[in-house]
Structure 1
Amino acid sequence: MAQAKGNGASLEGKLQNKAAGANNAPAANPSQTIAAYLKKMESQIAEAMPKHMNIERLSRIALTTIRTNPKLLECSIPSLMAAVMQSAQLGLEPGLIGHCYIIPYGKEATFIIGYKGMIDLARRSGNIQSIAAHEVYENDFIELTYGLEENLKHVPWFLRKDEKPTESGKIIGAYMVAKFNDGGHFIHYMPISEIEAHRARSKAAKNGPWVTDYTEMCKKTVVRSGWKWLPISVEIASAVTQDETTRKDITPSDEPFIDITPPAGTDDPPPQSEQQNGAGSEQLEFEE
């Protein structure tokens, strides 16, 4: 009996030591966990990408973008993977040159298309010869007339010859000009009051590119406002003009959930998210 009691005490001690060891085990590195998920999803992301993109490059850029923003490392894995997938589907690279952004909203990562990304998509339509957007400062000279003979003349403050302003002044508006292959064109101007009204309705009003890239977002807003008048595909037009007040820029309305099974050796999977992936009618799943 004494022997049995001794064995019991020994077993209890071993269990306690094991439990203590588990409690003291280092937590998984979020960056490594996200990298593992990206690696396992590469084949699925590659299938969604246009031919001009490279999966290795996109994965590297996306991971760098996530790693350099501590708040993104706190976001749910499904929302991060969804944002990367949306970037791949539209053929846009996050960060760097401002094609698109991955922005943290609490624990959810959100894909937001940038002004340069919108212009890139418009050019890819094959119907647009050129498209550009510019901000206008209060010391610029600008003259715009609409009607049968539309005309736009914009001279930046530092190139003016009639006057010699010493500074730009505040931004007072922005405009876009698109030239079509058939010889037509489209001009769209927005005063800063309209741009600020759009910003106020945006989820990103106090976060992300509206703070770090204000001028670029002014130009994006005017391009986005005039998007419906451009000769581009219905799918892209619909995706880009989604209202930021309720969702994000690229969010078709009837997508399924992301079902993610964690790579071996990582933490337990996060609960299934209602973050949507923009992958059409197929559910994104990891295969064991």
Structure 2
Amino acid sequence: MGQMTADQYLDQIQSKLMQTLTEKKDAMPPGFNQQRFALNCVTVIRDMMKDRKKKENLQTVDINSIVLCMIKGAYLGLDFLNGECYAIPYKGEMTFQTDYKGEIKVCKRFSNDPIKDIYAKVVRKGDAYDEGVEGGAQVLNFKPVPFSNEEIIGAFAVVMYADGTIKYDSMSVEEIRHTKDTYSKAANSQAWRDSFGEMCKKTVIRRLSKLIDLNLDKVEMIKAYEEGSGFEFENQQISGGSTRQAAQLPGTENVVDAFAPGQTTGQKTLEQKPQPAVTPQDFRQAPEREPIAEEIPPQYYPEEEFMSPDDYPDDEMPWK
């Protein structure tokens, strides 16, 4: 297996991502900006490489799997850098997962019936919550205790259509935990441990989406949206004795080691013979900020033009 520097590693991801975006352009939503999307994806991976634990997780993931994961965000028009979806290393593959606000964006964009608003709330002990049907119409009333830190007892989600009608769904915390423990691909992930309330909202809004008439008219969109839930309702035997093969793109090489200890060569092209690998100190440095990982990365970059990793200004370098 060959070795490459950090910049070569990012260059390869960017090159394969741009190639696949071009090949799959007909499956992208209207107005999709592939240059900006690719730039943001490379920034996300660069930031992951700055964190020791995340960098170790990346060692187990094939570059092709990273590209295929990020393409799924493109199919739905979701952005990794803006925290609308996440790329999570899991069992040797890069797993695609939507965020709560990504769920809302998909529903608003692809609903056949115009949506005025859609949201989810957690219900805590002591909050006033009542739901029912009056005169054949669904009615829901909610009055939370201000700034309450009491335990979460449930969550609900509401979609308000432009014509004034609503649909809602609700789940007790027991239902949410059962769904997590039974179907989640990563039931013990940092997202569930550190952002339980957000995951409760995402879970109930994903169930509400089953009641929304979504016009996902391409098979790529449908598959990406199903995987993005973070739940696996079929083929649950995967976690048993079976093994997963790394995702592959046609005609690509094996991934090379961008993380092995050594010194960087500064070369921009791969050669057949092994090259000294980069050390963590050789990664392009950026101003300190909140690390990004499984949950909430920073905001979009304003640049519209396509940039290679070497083109990032040192003072503008931008998940949890």
- When the two structures are superposed, what TM-score results if normalisation uses the length of structure 1? 0.69
Matching residue of 2:73: 87
Contact 1:102 1:111 in 2 (8 A): yes
Q: Greater helix share, 1 or 2?
A: 1
CA contact (8 A) 1:103 1:112 kept: yes
Alignment CA distance shift 1:174-1:185 (3 Å): same
CA deviation map 1:148-191 (0-9, x unaligned): 232211122117xxxxxxx4201111111111234321011111
Matched with 1:75 is 61
Q: Which moved more, 1:175-184 or 1:194-203?
A: 175-184
Match for 1:191 among 162, 172, 190? 172
Secondary structure in 1 aligned to 2:146?
helix
Contact 1:228 1:237 in 2 (8 A): no
Per-residue CA deviations over 1:171-227 (Å, capped at 9, x if unaligned) read 111111111234321011111111111111211211253234322211110011122
Q: Whole-Å Cα distance in 1 between the matches of residues 194 and 45 of structure 2? A: 16
Structure 1: 5+ residue stretches without partners: 1-22, 160-166, 249-255, 269-288
Distance 1:212 1:31, change over 3 A: farther
Give the drift of 1:257: 5.2
Work out whether 1:174 is the aligned partner of 2:127: no
Query: Aligned residue for 1:141?
Result: 128
Work out the CA distance in 1 between the residues paired with 2:234 and 2:79.
Answer: 20
Please state if 1:228 is matched with 2:216. no
Question: Which amino acid in 2 is paired with 1:230?
Answer: I
Q: Is residue 258 of structure 1 aligned with residue 210 of structure 2? A: no
Aligned mate of 1:54, from 33, 40, 43: 33
For 1:108-133, what per-residue CA distance to the aligned partner results, in whole angstroms no more than 9, with x for missing partners? 11101222111101111252222111
CA contact (8 A) 2:73 2:224 kept: no
State the distance in 2 between where 1:114 and 1:191 align. Answer: 20
Q: Does 1:118 align with 2:103?
A: yes
One-letter code of the match for 1:129? K
Is 1:63 aligned with 2:42?
yes
Q: Secondary structure at the match of 1:174?
A: strand
Report the more deviating stretch, 43-52 or 60-69.
Answer: 43-52
Aligned partners of 1:73, 1:211: CA distance in 2, in Å?
24
CA distance in structure 1 between the aligned counterparts of 2:249 and 2:86, rounded to whole angstroms: 20
For residues 72 and 271 of structure 2, the distance between their equivalents in structure 1, rounded to whole angstroms, comes to 24
Over 3 Å counting, the alpha-carbon distance change for 1:79 and 1:211 in structure 2 is farther
State the 1:258 CA deviation: 2.0
Tell me which amino acid in the other structure corresponds to 1:245.
Answer: E
Q: Secondary structure at the match of 1:82?
A: helix
Match of 2:92 in 1: 107
What is the number of residues matched between the two proteins? 229
Unpaired stretches in structure 2, ≥5 consecutive residues = 49-53, 236-246, 254-267, 274-320
Percent identity over the alignment is 28
Residue 131, structure 1, aligned to residue 118, structure 2: yes
Distance in 2 between residues matched to 1:181 and 1:136, nearest whole Å: 26
The answer as to whether partners of 1:137 and 1:172 remain within 8 angstroms in 2 is yes
Q: Aligned pair in 2 of structure 1 residues 82, 246: CA closer, same or farther (>3 Å)?
A: farther
| Aligned match for 2:192, one of 210, 219, 239 | 210
The one-character-per-residue Cα deviations of 1:75-124 (angstroms, maximum 9, x if unpaired) are 11111010111111111011533x11111113211101222111101111
* Larger RCO (alpha carbons 8 Å, 6+ apart): 2
Partner of 1:96: 82
Secondary structure of 1:122's aligned partner: helix
Match of 2:140 among 124, 147, 152: 152
Deviation (angstroms), 1:58: 1.7
Q: Give 2:210's aligned amino acid.
A: K
In structure 1, the residue corresponding to 2:119 is in which secondary structure?
strand
Give 3-state SS (helix, strand or coil) of 1:231's partner. Answer: coil
Q: Provide the TM-score with structure 2 as the length reference.
A: 0.63
Letter in 1 for 2:41: A
Paired residue type of 1:265: L
Q: What is the one-letter code of the residue matched to 2:158? A: V
State the SS of the aligned residue for 1:158. coil
Which residue pairs with 2:307 in the alignment? none
CA RMSD in angstroms, aligned pairs only: 3.0
